[in-house]
Structure 1
Amino acid sequence: MAASTRTYIAFLRAINLGAKRKFPKASIAAAVEAAGCTGVETYINTGNVRFDTSLRSRARIEAALESAFEAEAGFEVPTIVFTQAELREIAADAERFADGHEGRHYVSLLKDPPTQAGVEAVEAAGTAGEVARVGGRAVHLLLGPNYHEARLTNAAVEKHLGVATNRNLTVIRTLAERWC
């Protein structure tokens, strides 16, 4: 009897940045299929992929995908996996965390659950114009009009909470609507 599959969403970190880290959507899909996944879909060229797998361990799924991505792309691709329910929750948390914020809203997606000390450090790193709110494995970055000069970036998140990849809230909402 075949094992049942579940749907997951993976976010790839640091691809399509510069000439040496090119990883087109078709190659991403091929690598995910090579890792034994089915029902593969990608969304825009920033490393967002939906797939079905019989694996249940997030760590095992991430390891299988990272191995397939390195084989396909020729470089390491840190990968962060969420269930559909987790992605829906991240999108829903955006409303609660934004609480009237009208500036830019980005979400740093964390590979590992954050420590309490890390949460406190990243939330304390904010200023009046830059706020971080942590919910599960997601850090909502609420930035002002000079967001391109922000000190509260994905690099700052990684300093306190480990490997993360960043998407704008529009992408998070779109993926939650399409894939969840």
Structure 2
Amino acid sequence: MLKTYIIFLRGVNVSGKNLLKMADLQKALSDAGFEHVKTYIQSGNILLDSTYSKTETANRFAQLLEEKFQIKAPLFIYTPEELKKLNDENPFKKDLEPNKVFLAFLDAKPLDELTKKLDAINHGDEQYVLNDKVLYFYLPEGMGKAKLTVNYLEKKLAVLGTARNLNTIEKILSLSAD
């Protein structure tokens, strides 16, 4: 039975590193037996259908990425239902600019003591809410001038993560419904 998965890659096509053409990835995934493969923009957003479990799909995807493209990049995999639930749980007002509201997907739940240290830092108008392995954040000045970047959060919380703004999340959810 085919199951749809959404995959977010961390650190591809950023600052000239881990360059990966989405069209090449799409073809490689299709050739490997994944179906209905779609990508959205160049930052590593992939939708595909798979006969494998979520874990096996993630493992096969990572293996293909390394073998075909020599890229080892953390990936975060969700079903459309899981991503929709995470999006629905976003604590920030829906009337905020969607390109300034982000979901950061984390590879682990941060330790409480690290979260408390982060809470003690003044981040000005930037806000965040941690919900298990997803950190929601709002950057009123946008990502370009932000203190709360993914790299900053990774260092403070000792986790790996990747973030997408609400525009991207909504588009991916829309593509998954097609």
Place the TM-score, normalised by the shorter chain, in its bin: 0.7 to 0.9
The answer as to whether partners of 2:100 and 2:142 remain within 8 angstroms in 1 is: no
The answer as to whether partners of 2:2 and 2:51 remain within 8 angstroms in 1 is: yes
Match of 2:125 in 1: 129
Equivalent of 1:68, from 52, 64, 67?
64
Equivalent of 2:139, from 143, 162, 165?
143
Match of 1:27 in 2: 24
The answer as to whether partners of 1:34 and 1:68 remain within 8 angstroms in 2 is: no
Partner of 2:92, secondary structure, is: helix
Partner of 2:36, secondary structure, is: strand
Aligned residues: 175
The answer as to whether partners of 1:110 and 1:138 remain within 8 angstroms in 2 is: yes
Partner of 2:42, secondary structure, is: helix
Match of 1:56 in 2: 53
- 1:97 partner amino acid: F
The answer as to whether partners of 1:123 and 1:131 remain within 8 angstroms in 2 is: no
**Per-residue Cα deviation, 1:29-51 (whole angstroms, up to 9, x for no partner):** 13323543212111111111111
Name whichever structure is richer in helix by fraction.
Answer: 1
Determine the C-alpha separation between the residues in 2 that align with 1:93 and 1:19: 34
Q: Does 1:167 align with 2:174?
A: no
Of all paired residues, the percent bearing the same amino acid is 23
**Per-residue Cα deviation, 1:40-80 (whole angstroms, up to 9, x for no partner):** 1111111111111122243x322211110112222212211
Check 1:54–1:147 CA distance in 2 against 1; reply closer, same or farther (3 A cut): closer
5+ residue gaps, structure 2:
none
Determine the C-alpha separation between the residues in 1 that align with 2:148 and 2:80: 27
Check 1:116–1:99 CA distance in 2 against 1; reply closer, same or farther (3 A cut): farther
Alpha-carbon RMSD across the aligned residues, in angstroms, is: 2.5
Structure 1 residue 124: Cα displacement: 4.8
**Per-residue Cα deviation, 1:82-132 (whole angstroms, up to 9, x for no partner):** 1111111122223x3337655821221223445545554555546231111
Check 1:115–1:179 CA distance in 2 against 1; reply closer, same or farther (3 A cut): farther
Check 1:117–1:37 CA distance in 2 against 1; reply closer, same or farther (3 A cut): farther
5+ residue gaps, structure 1:
none
Moved more, 138-147 or 37-46: 138-147
Partner of 1:46, secondary structure, is: coil
The answer as to whether partners of 1:90 and 1:135 remain within 8 angstroms in 2 is: no
- TM-score computed with the length of structure 1 as normaliser: 0.82
